[in-house]
Amino acid sequence: MIEIDKLVSEDGAYVSREIFGDADIHKLEMKQVFGRSWLFLAHETQLPDSQDYLTTFMGEDPVIVIRQEDGTLKAFLNACTHRGPLLCASEEGNATNFTCPYHGWVFGSSGDLLDVPHEGSSGWHNELNKERHGLKPIRVESYKGLYFGNFDEQAPSLDDYLGDYKWYVDAIFSPLPTGVEFLGGPMRQRLQCNWKVASENIFADTYHVFAAHGQAARICMEGKEGGIGIEENDDKEGDALGVAVTVNGHSMGLHFDGMGAYVLNKNMAEWMAYLGSQRENYIKHLGPRRGMMPGSSINGGIFPNFMFVPGFTFRQIHPLGPNECEIWMWTVVEKDMPLELKHEQVKANARMLGTSGLFETDDCANMERIDNTVSAYQGSKLISNYSMGLGREQKRDDLPGLTDQRMSDTGFRGYYRRWALFMKADKSSDIPLDAPRSIEGAE
Ligand code: FES
Ligand SMILES: [Fe+2]
């Protein structure tokens, strides 16, 4: 019997390291967390045309996502209903149907079983009910062009699951009426660490930036004025310190500086010029407060495994057993951005947080070092500390969620409190959502 209350303190500030390496806990996560969360599948721009498809994972389950003729997106388990082989081994493409490589059953893009070899007297004697052997469908819902899947029909809607976090999602995925686009297929890499270790770093870890990335940041800042906005400075106060937010386990750290996402880029002036040219449009579309978010220093993510640092990386962490994960990373740009800047963004992402990026290698080394100790017996009995800023969170009138200054473990605590709720609950309706609030001045 796994006792979740002994693994995560009620406030989420203290977490047993057993949750980062124990095989039984991992197995339970697949059922309790990945079996009931809204999991990112695709952005609409990855599947623009009818019968475009891509393959991905929900937890450890292979999934295929297909644009239908009526424009909707459907998702299915990517497993042949006859005996179970992976049906589609390609990463993406366009196809009217999918043929199983084992015995040749043919499935349409709607998931229906269309054709079966030896269906008549030479084999099945017309006794196979094809209607009962369509691909296993998965519930799909979308918000601002982002499509998510959920294995649980009883789970709350995606809209409720995001709750007040949508206020922040809007600024990132719909900064202008034309929205954003996901460029290319994802870069992928495997890491020898638990999926939560790789997730929490981007979700909420502002604190590591100076120690882990100090040298890389200095190289990028050479010859430039100023800093990256989160330097240690006890004279700063108010929103100059940035904000950490948690809502329904989703997290965000943000400033409203309008530039932090691009200060490490090579040609910073070009980016500032672009942001300057769009600022009025951002403000018109998002209002004065959120209109400052595009271009600002931001990191965060949607529980449990989809996350972003705009200007640097958008990514999803797929679990592969308790001690391994696969990181998928996309470059995401505003659709209205000039083509040269889109190209620059692809290069900047690769340089910083691509598979061999300057910052990525710093992070990955630390993540695998965590796995070194938490997967060993004595090390697994230690407790990880997420208590920075504990007790300082507040509900502000002007921002959704529970907030603190940015250098705070608020986002981690929300994440692990949520994880514990999922792990303990018998059914989705037992997992409470943060009550939506109407925010004065938060247009
Ligand atoms: S396993 Fe797919 S057709 Fe037999
Ligand atoms: Fe990092």
pLDDT at 112: 98
Do 386 and 393 touch, CB atoms closer than 8 A? no
Separation of alpha carbons 108 and 51, rounded Å: 10
Angle at 423 between CA 420 and CA 424, to 5 degrees: 85
Q: Per-residue pLDDT for the chain (443 aa), expressed as one digit of tens each?
A: 899 999 999 999 999 999 999 999 999 999 999 999 999 999 999 999 999 999 999 999 999 999 999 999 999 999 999 999 999 999 999 999 999 999 999 999 999 999 999 999 999 999 999 999 999 999 999 999 999 999 999 999 999 999 999 999 999 999 999 999 999 889 999 999 999 999 999 999 999 998 999 888 888 888 777 666 667 788 888 888 999 999 999 999 999 999 989 988 888 899 999 999 999 999 999 999 999 999 999 999 999 999 999 999 999 999 999 999 999 999 999 999 999 999 999 999 999 999 999 999 999 999 999 999 999 999 999 999 999 999 999 999 999 999 999 999 999 999 999 999 999 999 999 999 999 987 765 55
Kindly name the residue from 22, 52, 164, 213 that is annotated as catalytic.
213
Residue 330 CA to ligand 1 centre (angstroms): 33
Domain coordinates of the chain in residue numbers?
Answer: 39-141, 183-430
Q: Which of 76, 103, 107, 135 is the pocket-test mutation for ligand 1 (most atoms within 8 Å of CB)?
A: 103
Cα–Cα distance list, 417 to 12, 64, 165 (Å): 5, 31, 16
- Joined together, the tokens standing for residue 270 give 């070009």
Active site residue 363: yes
Tell me which CATH code domain 183-430 carries.
Answer: 3.90.380.10
94 Cα: distance to centroid of ligand 2 (angstroms): 36
Which protein residues have a CB closer than 5 Å to ligand 2 (ion)?
Answer: 363
Find the Cα–Cα–Cα–Cα dihedral 140, 143, 146, 150, rounded to 10°. -30
3-class SS shares of the chain: helix, strand, coil, % to 5: 35, 25, 45
Nearest CA to ligand 1 atom 4: 103
Nearest to 442 by CA among 398, 395, 404: 398
Helices 358-374 and 195-204 cross at an angle (nearest 10°) of 130
pLDDT at residue 281, as a whole number: 98
Q: Of 118, 125, 152, 208, which residue is the catalytic one?
A: 208
Q: Are strands 73-77 and 298-302 parallel, antiparallel or unpaired?
A: unpaired
Residues with a CB atom less than 6 Å from ligand 1: 80, 82-83, 85, 100, 102-105
Active-site residue (options: 363, 371, 404, 409):
363
Token representation of residue 398: 């002007």
Please give the Cα distance from 95 to 299 (Å, whole number).
36
CATH code, residues 39-141: 2.102.10.10
Report the pLDDT value the prediction gives residue 219, as an integer from 0 to 100: 84
Residue 248 C-beta-side C-alpha neighbours within 13 Å: 26
Ligand with an atom nearest the CA of residue 103: 1
Helix residue ranges, H only, 291-403:
339-353, 358-374, 377-380
In angstroms, what is the span from residue 120 Cα to ligand 1's centroid?
A: 17
Catalytic residue among 52, 61, 205, 371: 205
Q: Please give the pLDDT value at position 235.
A: 81
Residue nearest to atom 3 of ligand 1 (CA): 103
Nearest to 204 by CA among 295, 298, 299, 297: 299
User: Contact 14/7 with Cβ under 8 angstroms?
Assistant: no
Q: Which residues contact 215 (CB under 8 A, 6 or more apart)?
A: none
Supply the Cα-derived Rg of the chain in whole angstroms: 23
- The pairing of strands 39-43 and 97-99 is unpaired
DSSP per residue over 203-243, as a string?
Answer: HH--TTHHHHHHHHHHHHHTT--S--S----TT--GGGG-E
Predicted local distance difference test score (pLDDT) of residue 441 = 54
Q: Is 205 a catalytic residue?
A: yes
